[in-house]
């Protein structure tokens, strides 16, 4: 079996959205959108990985694949819930109304979307041929939903009832979240919806959960940042009020980006073993990674992040399991110098993940293998232009909002991804990279690596 540490990566070929994230019978199960035939998007399956600690992941094969008319051209994104000892997966099935003669794995012009469910007694075995049930057929009434672009059901239980929120669009003009309700998790009734310009022109991957008794809405609106460079669709979150009796949702204030690197998309949350709200999301990669002895692969997940809210601001913090992974070998400035290394240009073992902690001063720059991080006019900025390659149409420089003089950084680096946590998760900048070097230049306070660098 293929195994990953820290970041779940495509086991060859292509992955995108995390799906069905759940802690079940002592293991974390993370499913993901998967095209098993090439490192490009195609007919969606659900790949499946498991972990006991959110750090060491083992890919265990394909969980869902097309078998029914309604999902004949893809098992799109969805969620998981435990009920009566079983894992119930909910997902969007896609059926192409016209087949592309040149490539059957991409939509020619038009498709239908329906919502399906499938159950498992152990979280591993799913009967794709006899166990799938259509719980919400293709929507015919445009006032309720779009027959084509209604997808990514998130299901949760509150009291005696089950709730489902699905992303959609209204006439391709404004995004909307659609709410359904059920007494048994199988028979669903439409209740309400909210259309809002903060959902872009279409909403994907909605998520709803409580923090300290208050609701948070999370989702991925499409076409909200045409001027941002690269991607037009981004992951956002904001405080909200939700009334379960009527499924009425009201949003508070403007949204905040979940990650200011703007490579992150389609986040999904779950409660961990300790009851913390934890998020994992897809890191979009514009080209496949090709390494000798490995299948080309495209797509990976960010580090697990604890979601917390203070004064209406939503924080994404380093998960304690990540802290534990790095805690055994912390190299301080004194130990680095005892290795007779130049503290201003420290060599790090190639391909080993490592952690750098520093509090910058205005105007200071940290160079991590060609990836630059600096404080400028009260913003934290990053520049990946030297470690990204000649890829047109993608932003090279990222920035936080103002941080008001606080420049504390906790940085996690590995060959294809750098994640910069600013001020204990007040903001995060995560950037996909290619060809990262194995050195650090600049002032450093602490470094944690997987093995000795002396």
DSSP letters, 42-66, are -S-EEEEEEESSSSEEEEEEEEE--
CA-nearest of 244, 282, 224 to 159 is 244
Mean pLDDT calculated for residue range 265-288 = 98
Centroid of chain to Cα 248: 26
- Band of pLDDT at residue 294, cut at 50, 70 and 90: confident
> pLDDT, tens digit, for every residue of 60-92?
999 999 999 999 999 999 999 999 999 999 999
Tens digit of each residue's pLDDT (9 = 90 or more) over 393-402: 899 999 999 9
Q: pLDDT confidence of 454, banded at 50, 70, 90?
A: very low
Separation of alpha carbons 437 and 350, rounded Å: 8
187-209 pLDDT, tens digit each: 999 999 999 999 999 999 999 99
Calpha distance 418→327 (Å, rounded): 19
Q: How far apart are CA 336 and CA 343, in angstroms?
A: 7
SS3 333: helix
| Tens-digit pLDDT profile for residues 401-441 | 999 999 999 999 999 999 999 999 999 999 999 999 988 99
Q: 329-342, pLDDT tens digit by residue?
A: 656 655 655 554 44
Confidence of residue 139 (pLDDT cuts 50, 70, 90): very high
Mean pLDDT over all residues of the chain? 93
Residue with tokens 């990053």: 382
Alpha carbons 284 and 416: distance in angstroms, whole number: 11
In 3D space, the residue among 118, 113, 148, 146 whose CA is nearest the CA of residue 130 turns out to be 118
Mean pLDDT for the stretch of residues 48-59: 98
Query: What values do phi and psi take at 247, rounded to 5?
Result: 55, 40
In this structure, of 29-33, 113-117, 346-350, the range with the lowest mean pLDDT score is 346-350
Question: How are beta strands 446-449 and 408-414 bridged, if at all?
Answer: unpaired
Q: What is the pLDDT of residue 228?
A: 58
C-alpha 383/C-alpha 375 separation (Å) is 12
In angstroms, the CA 3 to CA 53 distance is 13
Instruction: Determine the pLDDT at residue 340.
Output: 44
Give strand ranges (E) for 244-343.
248-251, 256-257, 264-271, 277-283, 297-298, 300-301, 305-310, 313-318, 330-332
CA separation (Å) from 432 to 58, 294, 380?
22, 19, 17
């Amino acid at each position: 079996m293929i195994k990953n540490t820290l970041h779940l990566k495509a086991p060859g070929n292509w992955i995108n959205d995390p799906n069905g994230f759940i802690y079940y019978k002592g293991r974390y199960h993370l499913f993901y959108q998967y095209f098993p035939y090439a490192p490009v998007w195609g007919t969606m399956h659900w790949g499946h990985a498991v972990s006991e600690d959110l750090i060491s992941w083992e890919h265990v094969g394909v969980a869902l694949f097309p078998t029914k008319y309604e999902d004949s051209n893809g098992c799109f994104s969805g969620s998981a819930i435990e009920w009566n000892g079983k894992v119930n997966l909910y997902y969007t099935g896609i059926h192409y109304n016209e087949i592309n003669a040149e490539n059957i794995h991409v939509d020619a012009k038009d498709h239908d979307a329906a919502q399906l469910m499938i159950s498992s007694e152990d979280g591993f075995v799913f009967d794709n041929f006899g166990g799938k049930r259509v719980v919400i057929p293709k929507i015919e009434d445009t006032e309720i939903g779009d027959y084509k672009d209604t997808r990514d059901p998130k299901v949760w239980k509150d009291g005696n009832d089950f709730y489902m929120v699905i992303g959609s669009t209204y006439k391709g003009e404004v995004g909307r979240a659609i709410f359904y309700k059920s007494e048994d998790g199988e028979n669903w009734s439409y209740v309400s919806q909210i259309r809002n310009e903060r959902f872009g022109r279409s909403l994907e991957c909605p998520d709803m959960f409580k923090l300290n008794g208050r609701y948070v809405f999370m989702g991925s609106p499409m076409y909200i940042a045409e001027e941002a460079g690269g991607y037009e669709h981004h992951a956002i979150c904001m405080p909200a009020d939700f009334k379960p009796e009527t499924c009425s949702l009201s949003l508070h204030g403007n949204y905040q980006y979940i990650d200011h690197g703007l490579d992150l998309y389609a986040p999904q949350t779950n409660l961990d073993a300790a009851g913390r709200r934890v998020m994992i999301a897809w890191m979009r990669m514009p080209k496949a990674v090709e390494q000798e002895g490995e299948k080309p692969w495209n797509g990976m997940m960010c580090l697990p992040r604890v979601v917390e809210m203070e004064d209406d601001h939503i924080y994404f913090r380093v998960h304690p399991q990540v802290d534990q992974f790095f805690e055994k070998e912390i190299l301080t400035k004194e130990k680095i110098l005892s290795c007779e290394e130049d503290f201003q240009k420290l060599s790090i073992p190639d391909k080993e993940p490592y952690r750098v902690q520093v509090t910058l001063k205005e105007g200071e720059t940290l160079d991590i293998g060609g990836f630059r991080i600096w404080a400028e006019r009260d913003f934290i900025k990053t520049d990946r232009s030297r470690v990204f390659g000649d890829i047109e149409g993608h932003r090279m420089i990222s920035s936080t909002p103002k941080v008001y003089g606080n420049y504390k950084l906790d940085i996690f680096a590995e060959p294809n991804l750098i994640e910069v946590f600013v001020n204990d998760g007040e903001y995060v900048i995560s950037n996909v990279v290619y060809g990262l070097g194995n050195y650090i230049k600049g002032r450093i306070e602490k470094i944690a690596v997987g093995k000795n660098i002396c």
